[in-house]
Amino acid sequence: DTAEQPPQQKSKLANVVILATGGTIAGAGASTANSATYQAAKVGVDKLIAGVPELATLANVRGEQVLQIASESITNENLLQLGKRVAELADSPDVDGIVITHGTDTLEETAYFLNLVEKTEKPIVVVGSMRPGTAMSADGMLNLYNAVAVASNPESKGKGVLVTMNDEIQSGRDVSKMINIKTEAFKSPWGALGMVVEGKSYWFRLPAKRHTQNSEFDIRQISSLPQVDIAYAYGNVNDTAYKALAQSGAKAIIHAGTGNGSVSSKVVPALQALRKDGVQIIRSSHVNAGGFVLRNAEQPDDKYDWVVAHDLNPQKARILAMVGLTKTNDSKELQRMFWEY
């Protein structure tokens, strides 16, 4: 509400744009007891903003509805559309920060994607909620308030894409949804960057990996993303999924491996053959609290010309592989990217 503040005070506030994409933060349930059973992506961005009038004390906030979906249904085209809109806004001199409301299922993928391709120092904050706004103890209001607080704060500049969930400020590169039934859902194996408490940010560490303004990738130069898929490893696994994914056109296959990205002896020959056919093989780990894959441990990656995903989980490895493949199909270059980003 523009009438609330005198103009001189108003002009001092940062301008923050909220790009809404759906998810539980825009969800609605039948009763206040429905914390887990509800429909995602129901509430429009204007209603979301109106639901947290305190946002007006933090920033001049306006909203845009980019998508209205549950995030498990996000496509590569949706990612590109969102990424290009973020870049346009970041280029605009009257935008100081950008908030993206997002379903939590693939929030970590979108946050990492933007972290790789947005050439800006301006704060970009991705946020969701674990309970719909209609539920008791809904977490979306405070998460959104915290997101706008972080996005409007000049201290947030140059720190890469950030995620504000459960009062923590997380790096969009590191953070992952670790449990789906608690509001304390998002964790990084390497810890949060900071806390946001009553609208104030407290920072403790900074991302060490390349991101945003220091990235070699630029959303404005990416018009499509190549097909990259994930195959899951487990005891008694066979090579059916890997072969089928390659046959359907995958340019790279992310091996969601056990332990240190280990590969079953039943699968190794198929992966060797696929690599010879030109498919990139990227070994990651699906260890829950955070995998860490070492090159030439478990498997002779140099000999097979495979890539390791470092500490990226399979879904994040897929994002970097897609973005990397827009620049190169050289496995050594891809490996360099997996160490640097």
Q: Which of the residues are catalytic?
A: 24, 104
Under 8 Å CB-to-CB from 217, ≥6 apart: which residues? Answer: 116, 117, 323, 326, 327
Q: Is 104 annotated as a binding residue?
A: yes
For the chain, how are helix, strand and coil distributed in percent, rounded to 5?
A: 35, 20, 45
CA 148 – CA 287 distance, rounded (Å) = 33
Question: Annotation-wise, does 106 bind a ligand?
Answer: no
CA neighbor of 58 nearest in space, from 169, 198, 165, 167: 198
Cβ–Cβ contacts within 10 Å for residue 57, how many? 13
Q: Which is nearer to ligand GLN, 71 or 171 (CB)?
A: 71
Q: Which of residues 183-242 bind ligand GLN (CB under 6 A)?
A: none
Give CA–CA dist 336/72, Å, rounded: 29
Among 63, 83, 128, 261, binds ligand GLN (CB under 6 A): 128
Which of positions 94-113 make contact with ligand GLN (CB under 6 A)? Answer: 103-105
Tell me the backbone φ, ψ of residue 185, rounded to 5 degrees. -100, -30
Determine, following the binding rule CB under 6 A, whether residue 71 of this chain makes contact with ligand GLN: yes
Rounded Cα distance, 241 and 3, in Å: 59
71 annotated among ligand-binding-site residues: yes
Instruction: Give the shortest CB-321-to-ligand GLN separation in angstroms.
Output: 22
Which residue in 17, 18, 40, 263 binds ligand GLN (CB under 6 A)?
40
Nearer to ligand GLN, 59 or 135 (CB): 135
Residue 139 binds ligand GLN (CB under 6 A) = no
CB of 113 to ligand GLN, least distance (A): 15
Distance separating alpha carbons of residues 221 and 55, to the nearest angstrom: 34
CB of 70 to ligand GLN, least distance (A): 4
C-beta atoms surrounding 286 within 10 Å: 19
Q: Which listed residue (16, 19, 23, 261) binds ligand GLN by CB under 6 A?
A: 23
Closest to ligand GLN by CB, 143 vs 153, is: 143
In the complex, the residues that contact ligand GLN under the rule CB under 6 A are: 22-24, 40, 70-72, 103-105, 128, 130
